[in-house]
Structure 1
């Protein structure tokens, strides 16, 4: 490899900068490309996902239908009260895209784990919206509890070089029913109860007694319903950043 090779020249410049910084007593500070409150993508904090519904295909699709229904109802109700639409058409569209219900290019979501980490540009392409509009839509969804996210970063693979060691990567998005307004999450629980009962019938659920409501037929559905009720009882305000800045 000759001295005129671009790679060699670049490495030489990086080494020169590194040595000059060391001689002057300077140390590299935090990577400017990484936003605050970002977690390494391999850390548990960067993997906040939870199963969609009960994690099964039928259960997840049923939960998604319920979530979208309460989102539309919430938007309509707030408008009828005399205000604007808190989510708006773009907010609802982005929510549908993240839940895999629409989009020119479907964004994959793992029902079993809830893994969901599309880049903002990917969401914008699927929604046929500009990036700024998507960022605003995401912020609206988060402000009203319909979406949460965690910022993530990753290594650049330039260990030993004088340059950024980390870079921003896509956010990890997840859904926390406990963050929804009280009336919205109560409505979601009602719809989810009915949906699980309907799914349970297809799996041979025993008929309910006069003193008990319909119950899901098999343990995964019972567990999903119990966990959702628990999340409502322990509802907390979102703590993730308000603006979904990422690459």
Structure 2
């Protein structure tokens, strides 16, 4: 490791460098701040609230496939709606209009009250509020990258029955072929639309240098599905419709396989069958040619 100084370091600078070297040698996790800040919004990973795995369990493979496929389709439909509402360049146009109106409002407010056009400042403020709402809606719109992240995160859901689901951002980014920042933005949008939920988990860790100084550090995020509570009613009803359609598809396939006729027995030689039938008829007939 090489150290390059732009100027002569001070005593404080040497102290900071020594602390960084000690952390690198120690191999302890990254310092995330004081215990109070890390614990805010985090749940201890041993607590029942930090293990919401029962919400990720499915009764059958058909239910799991139908649910996952329907959720991905819902995400794609939301992305299509967002793309249709906000065309390419619409965000830039909104930002330019916001700057123009803000400058006009500042110029009007700098005038004496008697020189201001009646109602114009109020109209500008209303327009600015509408632009701010449109920009906020645009920032939470589902994108193609969000759909890719959503499809990738389902690869880490344990479908074997436990329902455990806590992949790191790095694993999700590799599966979705994107960066960690894209995963961060995608998760926020997916959570906003109710497609995904999670709880942040933490634990207490003792540094190797001073084991007596325990510090709470964030470990992972436990993901789970809470669709009915967090989804918009329109989106949730669409999800139920898609899942029911796929469930009926699986049901018809299973019923068809169940009532399918068994394969016929292997055919015998025709001559052998004739001899068997003739012998059976001779056994049934009496000597006078009538049935017994």
Query: Do Structure 1 and Structure 2 share a fold, with TM-score over 0.5?
Result: yes
Task: Give the 3 Å change call, closer, same or farther, for CA 51–199 of structure 1 in structure 2.
Answer: farther
The answer on 1:162 being equivalent to 2:212 is: yes
Match of 2:244 in 1: 193
The 8 Å contact of residues 41 and 47 in structure 1, kept in 2 or not, is answered as yes
The answer on 1:88 being equivalent to 2:138 is: no
After superposition, give the CA deviation of every residue in 1:167-222 in whole Å (9 maximum; x if it has no partner). 211100112212112111101111111222222234439xxxxxxxxxxxxxxxxx
The structure with the larger Rg is 2
Match of 2:167 in 1: 118
Task: Give the 3 Å change call, closer, same or farther, for CA 202–112 of structure 1 in structure 2.
Answer: farther
Task: Give the 3 Å change call, closer, same or farther, for CA 46–52 of structure 1 in structure 2.
Answer: closer
Alignment equivalent of 1:131, drawn from 175, 180, 188: 180
Task: Give the 3 Å change call, closer, same or farther, for CA 38–52 of structure 1 in structure 2.
Answer: closer
Task: Give the 3 Å change call, closer, same or farther, for CA 53–189 of structure 1 in structure 2.
Answer: farther
Between the aligned partners of 1:33 and 1:55, the Cα distance in structure 2 is 39
The answer on 1:143 being equivalent to 2:178 is: no
Which has the larger helix fraction?
2
Between the aligned partners of 1:170 and 1:153, the Cα distance in structure 2 is 7
The answer on 1:39 being equivalent to 2:43 is: yes
Task: Give the 3 Å change call, closer, same or farther, for CA 110–53 of structure 1 in structure 2.
Answer: closer
After superposition, give the CA deviation of every residue in 1:55-92 in whole Å (9 maximum; x if it has no partner). 42222112111111111112112322346581101111
The 8 Å contact of residues 33 and 167 in structure 1, kept in 2 or not, is answered as no
User: What is the count of residue pairs matched by the alignment?
Assistant: 172
Between the aligned partners of 1:67 and 1:36, the Cα distance in structure 2 is 31
Alignment equivalent of 1:177, drawn from 227, 232, 235: 227
CA RMSD of aligned residues (A): 2.8
Gaps of 5+ in 1: 1-9, 11-28, 101-106, 206-247
The 8 Å contact of residues 120 and 134 in structure 1, kept in 2 or not, is answered as yes
Give the TM-score normalised by the residue count of structure 2: 0.52
Task: Give the 3 Å change call, closer, same or farther, for CA 122–47 of structure 1 in structure 2.
Answer: same
